[in-house]
Amino acid sequence: MLTVHHLGKSQSERIVWLCEELGIPYELKRYARDSVTMLAPPDYKALHPIGAAPVIVDGDLVLAESGAIVDYIMAKYGKGRLVLGPDAPDFAQFLYWFHFANGTLQAGMGRLMLLNRLKLAEDNPMLPATKARVDRAFDLVDTRVRDAEYLAGSTFTTADIMMGFSLTTMRYFQPYDLARCPNVVKYLGRIGARPAYRRAMEKGDPGMALLLS
């Protein structure tokens, strides 16, 4: 059986959510972060050489990287659901937003988080430049979900699952005021109301407040 090793408040929530959307059997193993360092515990780090979440085990396979895991699960268990094929009008949008999640938004928020922790001098240009890049990324998402119900158009896809963490739980680590992005807030209301999302978050991070606004 597919085993999802879920580290609390991490990108592995994407994998739990995906399994719930697909309705496939899986075993969920939960791990708590260190209360002081907020890092993964040693037994989680030992699962894979990179030592980061998410990690799945499927038979003899041990696989990390959320994007790779999503692609693997979709190819093996998806049966064509939650993805768009090359003949779909919004295929390019689907690909773009799927990769935008970790390639642009998550990466930008991660850099901003690290810079904020460095306590740079007030005149250091890196912090405002990085913040501006994150703002542009959020603005782009806001414009997209103003014009479309979901990131790939009218259909909910794995692009929405990939983006969900960066728009919500990642803000525990790098706060971001969504008041400037009203369309993102409405979009999060749509995906946050999905039964599979609710089940996934209750199973993976019970009691955690969901940052849907």
110 pLDDT more than 90: yes
Q: Are 13 and 165 spatial neighbours (Cβ–Cβ below 8 Å)?
A: yes
Per-residue pLDDT band for 202 (boundaries 50, 70, 90) equals very high
For residue 108 the two structure tokens come to 């930008």
Same domain for 183 and 99: yes
pLDDT given for residue 120 in this prediction:
84
Cβ atoms < 10 Å from Cβ of 41: 13
Task: Give the domain CATH number at 156.
Answer: 1.20.1050.10
Same domain for 61 and 33: yes
The residue ranking higher by pLDDT, 1 or 87, is 87
Q: Number of folded domains in the chain?
A: 2
Same domain for 103 and 177: yes
pLDDT given for residue 146 in this prediction:
97
Cβ atoms < 10 Å from Cβ of 152: 27
Same domain for 123 and 51: no
Same domain for 120 and 73: no
Cβ atoms < 10 Å from Cβ of 182: 12
Same domain for 189 and 107: yes
Q: 64: helix, coil or strand?
A: strand
Domain of 77, in residue numbers: 3-82+198-204
Task: Give the domain CATH number at 54.
Answer: 3.40.30.10
Cα distance between residue 108 and residue 128, in whole Å:
12
The pLDDT mean for the chain works out to 95
On whether residue 137 sits in a domain, the answer given is: yes
On whether residue 213 sits in a domain, the answer given is: no
On whether residue 210 sits in a domain, the answer given is: no
Q: Are 157 and 151 spatial neighbours (Cβ–Cβ below 8 Å)?
A: yes
On whether residue 175 sits in a domain, the answer given is: yes
Q: How does pLDDT run across 4-53, given as a tens digit for each residue?
A: 999 999 999 999 999 999 999 999 999 988 888 888 888 898 899 888 89
Looking at the chain, how many residues does it have?
213
On whether residue 212 sits in a domain, the answer given is: no
Same domain for 184 and 98: yes
Same domain for 120 and 68: no
On whether residue 145 sits in a domain, the answer given is: yes
Model confidence, pTM: 0.94
